[in-house]
Amino acid sequence: MLSAKRNILRVAAATVASGVLAAGAVALAGSASASTIGAHHTGTSYSFKTLNNAHDLTFNQLLGINDEGVISGYFGSGAAGHPNKGYLLLPREGFYINENFPHSKQTQVTGLNNRGVTVGFYSNTNLGVGKDANYGWVNVYGHFRQVNFPTNSPASPALDQNLGVNDEGIVVGFYNDNNNASHGYEYNIWTRQFSTVVDPNSPGASLTAAAINDHGDVAGFYTNPTTGNTDGFLLRDGQFMDLAVTGASATMALGVNNYDEVVGVYTPSGTTDLHGFTWTPRHGFTTVDDPKGIGTTTVNGVNDFGQLVGFYTTDGGNITNGFLATPHGH
């Protein structure tokens, strides 16, 4: 089997050959997809590095990272006239590869696996954040495919986003219905079959499936029916685990790796601050903030070596910067 990096380069070559370079991406409403760190990295300190695409130094979000260190993300805020544009980043080589759904106006690359498969969502318009319809997609070895959950009650405008994919080819994402409630799902890229992801104790709760590991464990966030707060969750071996930072008004789990450590973002009650976190079944929550963005950090993705990606803001929130955090000793 080709290494993930060689697969990524092959995908890039196919993309160039088809003329699909630089379309755009859609702003992820309040969050982005992510993953987790293995338990053996718990308590690790990190070296942080800001990584922004030179095409737009004012807005970058890094959303996923695989075990080869390839990063998925996008630049552009999604405001009218400022479309999102998807890319893959090979930080060791120091170059970006544009990746955008064919003929779209906007694209986000939200997740990738170790076998050359990427996922995300796109829009055919650039009317402004929250005004554009979103449609999910997968890219399997350079071949794009639209993937949207079949529903008779979609939101208007439509909102369907693919957020993560594992090495078995299982995609996770969500769609919004006409009441703007979110519904999580899985999609098998080989059989093209869908299945739902729900809180078994409250199947009707609004829920977003954000990431999946190779064991089939799913991380995401939902509306806790008891408190009404947004809580994270880990669905592991059929068991639904609520994840909520003590004293937080909102906790969003955005990813999970093969060690079942979850990463994401939380907001302390009474504030508008954003703090990244890692969580493991053994050690619970640990706050992770980029030193340049304490109180404005979101952790979106992590690989099995404990490398984190995400974003933070500066200049009063006017600049959004992507970051890579590498555990010391890695």
Adjacent-strand bridge partners of 308: 302, 325
Name which of 180, 109, 115 is nearest 138 in CA terms.
109
Indicate the pairing of strand 262-268 with strand 248-256.
Answer: antiparallel
pLDDT at residue 189 is higher than 60:
yes
| Contact predicate 151/136, CB 8 Å | no
- Model confidence at 329, in pLDDT bands (50, 70, 90)? confident
Mean pLDDT of the chain: 88
Residue 96 token pair: 């970006």
Tell me how far apart the alpha carbons of residues 111 and 257 are, in angstroms, rounded to a whole number: 13
Look at residue 68 in the predicted model and tell me its pLDDT. 96
DSSP states of 286-329 as a string?
A: EEE--TTSTTB-EEEEE-TT--EEEEEEEGGGTEEEEEEEEETT
pLDDT digits (tens, 9 = 90+) for 21-31: 233 333 333 33
Q: Judge: domain 4-327, CATH 3.40.50.620.
A: no
Alpha helices in 154-238 (DSSP H): none
- Model confidence at 9, in pLDDT bands (50, 70, 90)? very low
Angstrom distances, CA of residue 327 to CA of 101, 140, 307: 33, 30, 6
- Model confidence at 35, in pLDDT bands (50, 70, 90)? very low
Tell me how far apart the alpha carbons of residues 137 and 85 are, in angstroms, rounded to a whole number: 14
The SS3 of residue 174 is strand
DSSP states of 105-158 as a string?
A: SEEEEEEE-TTSEEEEEEES--S-TTTS-BEEEEEETTEEEE-----SSB-SS-
pLDDT digits (tens, 9 = 90+) for 104-138: 999 999 999 999 999 999 999 999 999 999 999 99
| Contact predicate 147/162, CB 8 Å | yes
Indicate the range of 35-49, 133-147, 165-179, 240-254 predicted with least confidence. 35-49
- Would you give the DSSP letter of residue 177? B
Alpha helices in 18-115 (DSSP H): none
Name which of 92, 160, 108 is nearest 301 in CA terms.
108
pLDDT digits (tens, 9 = 90+) for 217-268: 999 999 999 999 999 999 999 899 999 999 999 999 998 999 998 999 999 9
Look at residue 39 in the predicted model and tell me its pLDDT. 28
Exposed (0-12), middle (13-18) or buried (19+): which is 125, by Cβ within 10 Å?
middle
